[in-house]
Chain A
Amino acid sequence: MSPPSTTDVLVVGAGPAGIAAATAAAEHGRKVIVLDDNRKPGGQIWRDSSVIASPARSASGSRKQRAIDRLQRSGATLLSGHTVFSASASGQLETLRELATGSFAERFRFEQLILATGARERFLPFPGWTLPGVFGVGGLQALVRAGYSVAGKRIIVAGTGPLLLAVAAHLSHDGANVVAVIEQAALSSLIPFAASLWRQPSKLLQGAQYRASLSSASYRTAAWVAEAIPATDGRSLSAVRITDGKRTWTEPCDLLACGYHLVPNTELAELIGCTLQRGFVQVDEQQRTSVPNVFCAGEPTGIAGLEAALLQGEIAGRACAGVATASLRSRANKEQAFARGLARAFALRPELRQLPQPGTIVCRCEDVAFANLQHPSGWADIKLQTRCGMGPCQARVCGPAVEFLLGSKPSSVRQPLYPVPLHALTATTEHAPEPFKVEPESIHKVEETA
C-alpha cells in the first residue's frame, strides 16, 4: 500500500451529490479529493454524455457539463476508478484501483468525509429473471449507453418507480420498440404522487416528456411480470407473462428490463458506524451523520432523485467548510418530502412475494433457490445454512430481495466492502505503485481557469 494521501475533505462518490459537495467545499477553501469507482464522473444519471431522452437529454447533458466544469474550476481533485473497500481506522479509508499493470491499494486520510455513494437497483426474483435477455432497468440503460444496440428490439420495461418511464423513453429514443411499460403500483397510489408533481413543475415536465416520447407503448399500472419465457435460441426471450392478480396474459418480446426502484448504498456508512434509520443513513439539517466529521448526501439518506442529491451535496460541502447552509434547507426539505411521496407511491405490493417458485434462484452468486430459504430463523442462519449472500456481491443483489420476501435483514457489513485481491489487505509494499501520483486516464483536475 502506498503512503497515504491527506486531504481536508474526502468525498466518496462522484454522482450529482458528490460533485455538488466537493464543489461547495473546494469553493470555500477546503482541500478536497473525490473518489469514485467508475471510469467517469457523473454517478448513475450523469455518467455518460447521453442522458435520458431528448429534449431532456440535451438539457441535462449541459447541466452535467456545467456541474463538472464547475467542479474542475473549484480546485477539487477527482480520482476516478478508485473503489473504496475499507475504512481501517477513523479518519482514513482504503481504495483499490485497477490499472493495466495490476491493481493497487491506496490509503487516504481526511479530516472530514462526505459519503455520496448513491443507490442501486432492487431486483425481485420471479421465474426466469436470471435468463439471458432479462436486465435491470438501470442495467439495460447503462448497457445501451456503453454501446449495446437495442434498435428494432421489442422491449418490455417493468417493475416499479419513476425510472421505468425515463428508461423506456431512453430506449425508445435509441430505436427500441418499447411494447409496454408495466408498473406494479396502482394508479390510485400514483395519483397523489402525480398531484404533488404540480408543485414541482420541472419534474412534471420531465414526466410528460418521457410519456410523449413513448407514444406507441402501453403503460399499465397495477400489473407485474410473473414469468419470463426463453426463446429457443437461448439468448433472448420469447415473451413474458404479465398479471394483474386476476388475469394473466402473455406479451411477446425480445428483452425485458425489470427493476423494483432503488435501494441505498449504505454499506460504507455502516462500516464507519453511522446510524441508520429505516434503512437510510440518519443525517441532521447539515447532512451530518451520527459519526463526528462524517456527512452523507444523496440517495443513501433517502431515494429522492437528482435535485435532492444536488442540494444535499451542496449543504454537506458548505457545512464542511463552516459556511451557512440555511438558505438551501427549505428547498432540500421540499425534495425530501418528494422522496417520502415516492416511497409511498411505489411501495411494493405483497403479491410480489408470491412470484418465486421453489426452484427460482434468489442468490445468483451462489445459486441458491427459493425453496432453500424456507429456514425458520433470521438472515444470519439463512445465509450460513444456504450460502445465500456469501458470494462476490455479498448480498448487494439478493439481500434486499430476501429482506422483502422473508422480512429478515442482511447481517453485518465488513471490510472488504468489495472483493479485493489479497495483497490489498496487507501492508506489503513490494509491488506498490509509485507514491501517490495522478493518472492521466483517471484524473480530471484542471488548473484554475475561468
Chain B
Amino acid sequence: MKPLDVLIVGAGIVGSSVARECALLGWRVGVVTGGTLAGSSTVAGMGHVVVMDDSPAQLALTAYSQSVWRELVPQLPKVTEYEQCGTIWVAADHDEMAEVQARHEVYARGGLETRVLSASDLAAAEPNLRSGLAGGLLVPADGVIYQPAAAAYFLHQAQQHGAEIFPLRATAAAHGVLRLADGTSLAAPRIVLAVGAECELLPAMQIQRRKGHLVISDRYPGFLRHQLVELGYLKSAHKVAEDSVAFNIQPRQTGQLLIGSSRQYGNSDSEIETAIMQRMIDRALDYMPGLRNVSILRAWTGSRAATPDKLPLIGPAKGLADDDTLWLAAGFEGLGITNAPGAARLLVNAMVGRASAIDATPYLPARLNAGAAVAYA
C-alpha cells in the first residue's frame, strides 16, 4: 500500500473540506473520525453562509470562503439545498440604522455589494416582521446550505479520489504518528486536526465551547424569504462572559423555519435549557409576532468552538506544539460552515507552499502563544 500523505482527524464540514482538497491534489488521504457526524457541531449548526465584518480578518476569510462556496455551487448535489437567499441585518431603531450605514461602507470597501433598506423596504421584503422597525442591510450574496449533506458530499468526493476512512477515535497525535482507540497507529508526514471543539489531542488550542439552541418549524413556504439577523447579533456574539440571545431566523428550502440563536459559555452538555431557550424564543416573537402559532417540530443544541480571539486556527501547529507534522483547522466558533471551504484551501496552500488568495497570517495558530505573538489586525 502506498503510504499516506496526510491524515485528517475529524470529518465535520471542516475535516471533509480539507480531505477533499488534499485528495484533489492527488495525495493519499486518511480520514480518522470518531464515528458518525451525529454529535458534531456540523449537524447542529444553522448553515448560514454569511459574510461577517466583526473584524477585518473575519471579513476577509468569510468573503473569500463565500466565493469558494459559490464556485462549488454548480457541482453541489440537490440534497445540499444551497439557496442564495441573502441576509437582512435588521435594524430596530435609529442607532442601529446608523450602524447599517457604517457596515454598508465597510462591505463596500471590501468590494462587497449590499443594499440599505428603509423601514418600508424592509416591510416589503419581509412582511412578517413587526412594524416599527427602522430598516436593514441586505447582503444579497449570502446563502443557506444543508451542511450535513455538504459535509457528506465533500467526504464522498475525497473517497472517490482515493481517501480512506478510519472510523475510530484518535487518542494521540505526534510526530507523524496517530494512535487510534483500538491500539493501532497510522503514520503520515502531515496530521491535520479538524476536531471542532475537541482539543484533547492538543490542549494548547485553548478552545472553549459556546452552546447554542435552535428550534425548527413545520413547513411554511413563503413565510420568510431571507435569513434575518438582528443587528444587535454582533454585540451579543461578542459578549464573552454572559449568556446572550439574538433574533436569527432562516428559511429552509423545505419551507421550514430554523430559529436561533443563543450563546452560552462553559456549558458542554447537550441538554435543552428551558430558560435560555425561552429568552431566545421571546426575542424571535418580539421581531416576528406571527411566529406565535408556527408549529415547532424539534429543538436541539450544539456547541461552537471558540478561540480566545474568535478567529479560527488554520495552519501549522508551530508555536503551540513542537511538532512540524501537526496542522490545525479548528476553532471556527459560529462560522465553520461558512469558512470550511476557504479554510481548507488556505491550509492546503500552506502545506504545499503555495500562495493563497488572502493573507493567512491572522489565522495562524502560533498567535495564541503569547511568546510568539503574531501581529495581525
Q: Does A91 contact B (CB under 8 A)?
A: no
Distance from A357 Cβ to chain B, minimum over Cβ atoms (Å): 21
Query: Total interface residues on A, using CB and 8 Å?
Result: 30
The verdict on A377 contacting chain B, using a C-beta distance below 8 Å, is: yes
Known contacts A392-B218, A414-B272, A427-B282; decide if A419 and B296 are in contact (CB<8 Å): yes
Q: Does A197 make an interface contact (CB < 8 A)? A: no
Q: In the complex, A309→B9 CA distance in Å? A: 51
Cβ of A390 < 8 Å from any Cβ of B? yes
Contact between chains at B297 and A392 (CB < 8 Å): yes
B122 within 8 A of A: no
* Complex contact B294–A415 (CB within 8 A): no
Say if the beta carbon of B300 comes within 8 Å of chain A.
yes
Least Cβ distance of B278 to chain A in Å?
5
Tell me the complex Cα distance, A102–B293, Å. Answer: 9
> Known contacts A385-B148, A421-B294; is A380 also within 8 Å of B37 by CB?
yes
The answer to whether the Cβ of A222 comes within 8 Å of any Cβ in the partner chain is no
Q: A380 to B296, Cβ gap below 8 A?
A: no
In the assembled complex, which residues on chain A have CB atoms less than 8 Å from the CB atom of B282?
426-428
What's the dominant secondary structure at chain B's contact region?
mixed
Taking the nearest CB of chain A, how far is it from the CB of B265, in angstroms?
22
Hey, which chain A residues are within 8 Å of B215, CB to CB?
Answer: 422, 425
Mask: chain A, 418-450; 1 = CB below 8 Å from B; 0 = not: 011111111110010000000000000000000
Residue of B nearest to A1 (CB): B278
B220 shortest CB reach to chain A, Å: 11
- B43: which A residues are within 8 A, CB to CB? 380, 384
- A115 → chain B, closest Cβ, in Å? 20
Is B37 touching A384 in the complex (CB atoms < 8 A)? yes
Contact partner of B38 (CB less than 8 A), chosen from A384, A390, A392, A426, is A384
Closest partner residue, chain A, to B152 (CB atom): A385
> Given A381-B37, A419-B218: A426 and B272 within 8 A (CB)?
no
Question: Is A426 in contact with B294, judged by CB distance below 8 angstroms?
Answer: no
B149 & A385 in contact (Cβ 8 Å cutoff): yes
User: At the interface, yes or no: A149 with Cβ under 8 Å from chain B?
Assistant: no
Contact of B295 among A387, A414, A420, A426 (CB under 8 A): A420
A380 & B295 in contact (Cβ 8 Å cutoff): no
**In the complex, which residues 350-395 of chain A have their Cβ closer than 8 Å to any Cβ of chain B?**
377-378, 380-381, 384-385, 387, 390-392, 394
B253 to chain A, nearest CB (A): 11
**How distant is the Cα of A58 from the Cα of B25 in the complex, in angstroms?**
77
What CA separation (Å) do A416 and B272 show in the bound complex?
A: 10
Contact A425/B299 with A384-B43, A385-B148 known, Cβ cut-off 8 Å: yes
Query: Shortest distance in angstroms between B303's beta carbon and chain A's nearest beta carbon?
Result: 16
In the complex, the answer to whether A416 meets B299 with C-beta atoms within 8 Å is yes
- A420 engages B298 (CB within 8 Å): no
- Residues of B235-287 whose CB lies within 8 A of A: 254, 259, 272, 274, 277-278, 281-282, 284-285
CB-defined contacts of A62 to chain B, threshold 8 Å = none
> A422 contacts which of B39, B79, B293, B300 (Cβ < 8 Å)?
B293
Q: In the assembled complex, which residues on chain B have CB atoms less than 8 Å from the CB atom of A394? A: 297-298
B169 vs chain A, min Cβ distance (A): 15
A427 and B292 form a contact (CB under 8 A) = no
Q: Contact: A411 with B293, CB < 8 Å?
A: no
CB distance from A2 to the nearest CB of B (A): 15
Q: How far is the CA of A288 from the CA of B103 in the complex (A)?
A: 60
What A residues does B298 contact at CB under 8 A?
A: 390, 394, 414, 416
For B36, what are the chain A residues with a Cβ–Cβ distance below 8 Å?
A: 377-378, 380-381
Most buried by A among B259, B277, B298: B298
Collect the chain B residues with CB atoms within 8 Å of residue A425's CB: 215, 277-278, 281, 296, 299
CA distance A57 to B31 in the complex (A): 63
A102 contact set on B, CB distance < 8 A:
293
Report B289-312 CB contacts with A as 1/0, cut-off 8 Å: 001111111111000000000000
- Tell me the residues in window 49-87 of chain A with beta carbons closer than 8 Å to chain B beta carbons: none
In the assembled complex, the Cα of A423 lies from the Cα of B291 at a distance in Å of 8
The 0/1 profile, CB within 8 Å of A marked 1, for residues 215-228 of chain B is 10110000000000
Quick one: closest A residue to B272, CB to CB?
Answer: A415
| CB–CB B292/A422 < 8 A | yes
Q: Is the beta-carbon distance between B37 and A392 smaller than 8 angstroms?
A: no
With contacts A422-B284, A422-B285 known, is A414 near B300, CB below 8 A? yes
Q: Which residue of B lies closest to A88 (CB)?
A: B274
CB within 8 Å: A-B pair count: 89
Q: In this assembly, does A89 line the interface, its C-beta being within 8 Å of a C-beta of chain B?
A: yes
- For residue B218, which residues in chain A have a CB less than 8 angstroms away from its CB? 392, 419
B296 touches A416 (CB 8 A): yes
Residues of chain B in range 149-169 having any CB-CB distance to chain A below 8 Å? 149, 152
B130 to A: closest C-beta gap in Å:
14
Q: How far is the CA of A438 from the CA of B285 in the complex (A)?
A: 29
Contacts A384-B43, A428-B282: A414 and B299 contacting too (C-beta < 8 A)?
yes
Q: Are A415 and B299 in contact (CB under 8 A)?
A: yes
Minimum CB–CB distance for B73 against chain A, Å: 19
CB distance from A347 to the nearest CB of B (A): 29
Q: CB-nearest residue of chain A relative to B256?
A: A390
A89:B148 contact, CB within 8 angstroms: no
* Interface membership of chain A positions 224-268, coded 1 if the CB is closer than 8 angstroms to chain B and 0 otherwise: 000000000000000000000000000000000000000000000
Interface centre among A384, A390, A391, A420 (most CB of B within 10 A): A384
The residues of B that contact A391 with a CB separation of less than 8 Å are 297
Known: A392-B218, A427-B282, A428-B282. A421 touches B37 (CB 8 A): no
* Nearest neighbor of B297 in chain A, beta-carbon distance: A419
Write the A393-420 contact mask toward B (1 if CB under 8 angstroms, else 0).
0100000000000000001001110011
- A384, B148: Cβ atoms under 8 Å? yes
Residues of B close to A378: CB separation below 8 A: 36, 38
Q: Are A426 and B297 in contact (CB under 8 A)?
A: no
Check A421–B293 contact: CB distance below 8 A. Answer: yes
Q: How far is the CB of B366 from chain A (nearest CB, A)?
A: 35
Residues of chain B within 8 A of A421, CB atoms compared: 292-296
Alpha-carbon distance between A443 and B299 when the two chains are bound, in angstroms: 31
Task: Write the nearest CB–CB distance from A396 to chain B, whole angstroms.
Answer: 12
* 0 or 1 for each of A168-193: is its CB under 8 Å from B? (1 = yes): 00000000000000000000000000
Within 8 A of A (CB), among B17-74: 35-39, 43
Across the A-B interface, give the 6 residue pairs with the lowest CB-CB distance, nearest first: A380-B38, A88-B274, A384-B148, A426-B281, A419-B295, A423-B292
Can you list 15 residue pairs at the A/B interface with Cβ under 8 Å?
Answer: A377-B36, A380-B38, A384-B38, A384-B149, A392-B297, A394-B297, A394-B298, A416-B296, A416-B299, A419-B296, A421-B292, A425-B281, A425-B299, A426-B281, A428-B278
Give the A-binding residues of B (Cβ under 8 A): 35-39, 43, 79, 148-149, 152, 215, 217-218, 254, 259, 272, 274, 277-278, 281-282, 284-285, 291-300
User: Known pairs A377-B36, A392-B218. 15 more at Cβ < 8 A?
Assistant: A88-B274, A380-B37, A384-B38, A384-B148, A394-B297, A411-B38, A414-B298, A419-B218, A422-B215, A422-B259, A422-B285, A423-B285, A425-B215, A426-B278, A428-B282
Q: Which residues from chain A sit less than 8 Å from chain B, CB to CB?
A: 88-89, 102-103, 377-378, 380-381, 384-385, 387, 390-392, 394, 411, 414-416, 419-428, 431
